[in-house]
Amino acid sequence: MDIKYIDLSERSREILKTIIRTYIDCAEPVGSRTVAKKADLGLSPATIRNDMADLEDIGLLFQPHTSAGRLPTEMGLRYYVNFLLEKENLSWGDQVAIEQGLMFRSSDLVAVLRKAVQLLAFFSGHAAIASAPRPISEHLKHLEFLRIRSGLILLITISDTGLVQNRLVQLDHDISEEKLEHLSRYINSRLVHVSLDKLRSMIIKELEKEKKAFDFLLKDLLDRKRDSVEEEIFIDGKLNLLDEMKFSDISRIRALLKTFEEKEALLALLDRCLDSKEVQIFIGSEGLGDEVPACGMVFAPYAGNDSPLGSLGVVGPLRMNYARMVALVEYTAQILTERFKES
């Protein structure tokens, strides 16, 4: 059932919200007596049990065993996030700590992003991840081709965000140092507000004579797969997941850590957030699929002067405190964006 077609009464919404908030706090099934005390609706536990049964029939709650209370399903958590979540205001102390933590002016983008994920992991208590800027969305500040040996070229790029990347390009033919120097000078003379996606057509059009060699080099630069993922995604706080009660299954922990090591699935998920200007929340299988533990994920894009550069966020159990995580991720992305614009 699509949650947008679920029409709950105000009472049912309050009961569902109380159950989920209690579950987030205690990680245990929530009974009707607990809801009666916390919701303050003036209803008896018996009446609340009936409403909880209705919510279970709809698919928003489930009962792990007969004598237990209820837990939210993934659909129940999605309903909560979409319609019942009240964003928490980040404390002044947390705001100051994040601002000061990202205060240093560094031309090393890697250092800045590593600091950002360290802060997110510390303040969230979960794992934190961030993606480096997508090469095609960046503007280059400097580019250079160096001949290593016959048919092997070292490509060095420096973006306007300060990201330095080195990449070896294997050609099926040799190209002289003189021609590579010529290409480097030509490109650098035109690197004024030119992004990578516009650079290739401009150069190929004007350098027809060297089209074969230069097209190969530039195609490798522009169309390359993210095979050097180690430099394009940053993770901190993986051990935080081991402290979560719902991550006690060793096989599930192994699957999640494998996903963190391989990084491709995380990177694809982070890329999905680039086109959004708002915080994105993924519940369970919406994020990393069915092969990894049921996780909650909160991501937000960070930007440069006029376009998104990358994304960052937190990965934790389904019962994470979404209200706090949204505020935390959103504020960190905001400060990171300000730092990049200042630099």
H or E element: which one contains 25? helix 10-26
CATH number of the structural domain 3-84: 1.10.10.10
CATH number of the structural domain 136-223: 3.30.390.60
For 73-101, the pLDDT digits (tens) are: 999 999 999 999 998 899 999 999 999 99
Contact predicate 16/55, CB 8 Å: yes
Range from 4-18, 111-125, 329-343 carrying the lowest mean pLDDT: 329-343
Looking at residue 136, what DSSP letter applies?
A: G
Class for the domain spanning 92-132+232-342: alpha beta
For 160-177, the pLDDT digits (tens) are: 666 677 777 777 778 888
For 46-75, the pLDDT digits (tens) are: 999 999 999 999 999 999 888 889 999 999
Q: Residue 224 above 50 pLDDT?
A: no
Q: Residue 155 above 90 pLDDT?
A: no
CA atoms within 13 A on the CB side of 265: 17
Looking at residue 66, what DSSP letter applies?
A: T
For 296-307, the pLDDT digits (tens) are: 999 999 986 667
Contact predicate 107/47, CB 8 Å: no
Q: Which residue has the higher pLDDT, 159 or 8?
A: 8
- Where are the domains positioned within the chain? 3-84, 92-132+232-342, 136-223
